[in-house]
Structure 1
Amino acid sequence: MPRIVWLLVTARAINRLGAFSLPFLTVLISTDFGASTTTAGVLSAAFGLATIPSRLAGGRLAARLGRRRTIVLGLTGCALAQLGIAAAGSLAAVAVFAILLGLVFELYEPPSQAMIADAVRPAERVRAYSLLNVALAAGGTGAGLIAAGLGRWDLRWLFVVDALTCLACALALRIALPADHRHRPAVRHGEHGEHGEQARPWRDRALWGMFTSGTVFALVYMQIMMALPLTLARRGLEPADAGLLFTASAVTVIAAQPALRLRRLATLSDSAALAFGYTLLAIGLVGYAMAHTLPAFLITTAVWSLGDVLILGRAFSVVAGLAPPGGADRYLAAYGISWGIATVAAPVTATQMLEHAGVAALWAGSASLCLALAAAQLLVVNPLISGKGRTAPAPDTTSGEATPAAETDSRPADRP
């Protein structure tokens, strides 16, 4: 992997070490300020709503200010907002800082993901994004343990430590990343007229297919983050033990990385790999519906985390591959809105399902969505992305191993 990929991976691990506070935002609102579960869900949804313009701004600021400046701005803003939440003395103050956090929360993602996409060959993108996922998981192993410890003492300290890691990450990247320079707008030559035109992600049907499926996946994923502490409480367990479960998930993601090099997995088409991942996710969530002890929750967490291993790297690689040269920022920013939508919806859907239908219904319903995603990926999304020239990867016969996620493009003039 190029040096810039390792820089982003290392910084992401540092940042992830403290990124354990958000799943406990609803718990903080409920316990420290006596708010109802519904109120806590609404305020968390307000945070999620603010992340939507944040993601779009991240793509545009990367083009105007530069990728490094945008990354540093986003991380510094997150730190200040987190400290505001930790110091807030009223529910109104928490709400204000939660919204401010949402407005800067996603600035980091489009420029950092686009840097990775531009730094490696298309055939190596799944490996690169999977490496980023490993960094998140590695930081998450420590994050979960810190959350389990600090959460028993004072939930506010979770936000303080999160802020400190954001500042450390911002400083490291400000020093290490190459200086910014302006990029010309991405153009698809020969495809939209003689002189081409600026790439517009929302006119790409393949991106719409990935965006729709990605939104449903993000909703399920965010429901896990938001509802797991509340689920543990309803099952008579300690909510802070969600930190242990997040650690188990991170360990599983790290341990499962060598499996991505297996020929049978690496040579799967993008849609087949994604459908398999959604199915594993569904199996794990069915386990949550039936679990009543911490060991049972740990086992089912490991199962759905295996699905996570297959999904995240592939999804980002597909989206980056759909973008024209230099257009990865805008494509990844557009795709990332799915997470903002999910962050808005998940606190409301999760808390309402828990309150009116119960734990089993919440997780069984989430599992059903995952199975529907697997079917839709194969029947609906696959024809769209196949039409853009993405095919199943070919085995690397020189090394004896499969080359993960190699991709071909039917428009060679569009690739550098």
Structure 2
Amino acid sequence: MASARSAELASTRHRLPARLRLLIAARAVNQLGAFSLAFLTVLLNRDLGASLPAAGAISGLFGLATIPSRLLGGRLTDRWGRRRTIVVGLAGCALAQLGIAAAPDLAVAAVCCVLLGLAFELYEPPSQAMIADGVAPADRASAYALLTTALAVGNMGAGLVADLVGRSSLRWLFVVDAASCLACALIVRLALPEDRTRPQPPSEQPQPQSAPVHSPWRDRSLLTMTAAGTVFALVSMLMLVALPLSLAADGLDPATAGLLMTASTVTLLLARPALRLRRLADLTPGAAFAAGYLLMAAGLAGYALAHTLPALLGPTALYALGNLLLMGRSFAVVSDLAPPGTSARYLAVYGLSWGFATVLAPPLSTALLDAFSPAALWSAMAAICLAMAVTQPRLLRRLAAS
């Protein structure tokens, strides 16, 4: 009995098909270069002469462009296939980043920023759809968690690369980021199976009336999950944007945020094996969401009270543990909602939550920090997480009953 249970709780990584392990590895390679955007506003301001408001507005245009990019990624996946859409998206990102690196003036850089936004999310829906369709429904949450953990590891390495490369020129950051996109595209092109777009013979083609068209925009369950996902994404993006500003307001070096993010990633890596423990593996989705949001709330409340680097490490670990419980679960729920053959479109709509959060978080965090103290911002975010700890399980119960 014990051996059977151990086999059941074996690592998801070992249950994943080889093509999905390669996809996750390729995305981690790509993430090693995903540090340039943090310096986009600085590059526009310092190297290309934009005022801070103008640089912020151009960065906001990038965020807006990611919203149609996500929807286009879902559409292209249906038309072109998954591998082709991933490769085109990554190649488009690389070309736009090289354009930013070589931009002779602000106008060219602004156009390249918008082009980067339009390509930036193309590869997310096909990547997530491959995971949704490549594992059993019970393993989807763990598979998505493995993807987000791999991306977190890539982020940790990205910070080290950024520190080394950025000392010479910020433009080189975008060159290295472009190289990581091309490396990821090459791995995907060579390692993943070819898209099957061969038309069926007339005798094998389904009758039009036998396959109803499912529009994700008419699925109330999906739209409800997207609204809840937007709250989670907004908290995550506020954390990312507000942390350096909060540290500066407390008299600490804003670069300390990099150390705290590294500590968060280390916590994720060390704690991830605990997800295979029976008590955690048997958590219902509602219980996992409640526990995850409660841990995030505790971490954010700790940030409101802490004012030194050692004191901030404990709240960082709590916040990371909460994220660990939530990682991938929403994507798994959305994948379960999608009718056969529509997972890419469903995940594309759900992914808009991050596009909205990317647009809202910078102006919202700066406005709140300007009007109130950092402690007030962290306390408000903790209150939001407490509310989600109650709301999200009820939402899941309603979806299960519908």
User: What band does the TM-score fall into relative to the shorter chain?
Assistant: 0.7 to 0.9
Contact kept, 8 Å, 2:97 with 2:177, in 1: the verdict is yes
TM-score (structure 2 length as normaliser): 0.87
Question: Which residue in the other structure is 2:17 paired with?
Answer: 2
Contact kept, 8 Å, 2:73 with 2:124, in 1: the verdict is yes
Question: Which residue identity lines up with residue 244 of structure 2 in the other structure?
Answer: P
Contact kept, 8 Å, 1:316 with 1:332, in 2: the verdict is yes
Contact kept, 8 Å, 1:152 with 1:240, in 2: the verdict is no
Q: Give unmatched runs, 5+ long, in structure 1.
A: 185-193, 389-416
Contact kept, 8 Å, 1:226 with 1:350, in 2: the verdict is yes
Match of 2:220 among 201, 205, 215: 205
Q: Judge which range, 311-320 or 39-48, deviates more.
A: 39-48
* 1:135 positional shift: 1.1
Tell me the distance in 1 between the aligned counterparts of 2:289 and 2:198. 32
Tell me the distance in 1 between the aligned counterparts of 2:233 and 2:19. 27
Q: 1:22 to 1:293 in 2, by over 3 A?
A: farther
Question: Which residue in the other structure is 1:346 paired with?
Answer: 361
- Give % identity: 60
TM-score (structure 1 length as normaliser): 0.84
Question: Which residue in the other structure is 1:306 paired with?
Answer: 321
Q: Does 1:290 align with 2:305?
A: yes
Aligned residues, how many? 379
**Aligned runs of 1:82-161 on 2, under 5 Å?**
82-151=97-166, 154-161=169-176
Question: Which residue in the other structure is 2:332 paired with?
Answer: 317
Contact kept, 8 Å, 1:148 with 1:244, in 2: the verdict is no
Tell me the distance in 1 between the aligned counterparts of 2:53 and 2:112. 19
Q: Judge which range, 121-130 or 106-115, deviates more.
A: 121-130
Tell me the distance in 2 between the aligned counterparts of 1:288 and 1:89. 42
Tell me the distance in 1 between the aligned counterparts of 2:338 and 2:102. 42
CA-based RMSD of the aligned residues comes to 2.4
Tell me the distance in 2 between the aligned counterparts of 1:318 and 1:195. 26
Question: Which residue in the other structure is 1:407 paired with?
Answer: none
* 1:248 positional shift: 1.9
Tell me the distance in 2 between the aligned counterparts of 1:291 and 1:152. 31
**Aligned runs of 1:314-393 on 2, under 5 Å?**
314-379=329-394, 381-387=395-401
Question: Which residue identity lines up with residue 345 of structure 1 in the other structure?
Answer: L
Question: Which residue identity lines up with residue 168 of structure 1 in the other structure?
Answer: A
Deviation readout 1:224-280 (Å, 9 max, x if unpaired): 222333333333333333332222222222112112112222222212211221222
* 1:16 positional shift: 1.1
Question: Which residue in the other structure is 1:399 paired with?
Answer: none
Question: Which residue in the other structure is 1:23 paired with?
Answer: 38
Contact kept, 8 Å, 2:368 with 2:377, in 1: the verdict is yes
Q: Does 1:220 align with 2:230?
A: no
* Structure number having the greater helix percentage: 2
Q: Give unmatched runs, 5+ long, in structure 2.
A: 1-15, 200-208
> 1:19 is paired with a residue of what secondary structure?
coil
Deviation readout 1:366-394 (Å, 9 max, x if unpaired): 22222222221123x12332125xxxxxx
Q: 1:131 to 1:202 in 2, by over 3 A?
A: same
Contact kept, 8 Å, 2:35 with 2:177, in 1: the verdict is yes
Question: Which residue identity lines up with residue 116 of structure 1 in the other structure?
Answer: I
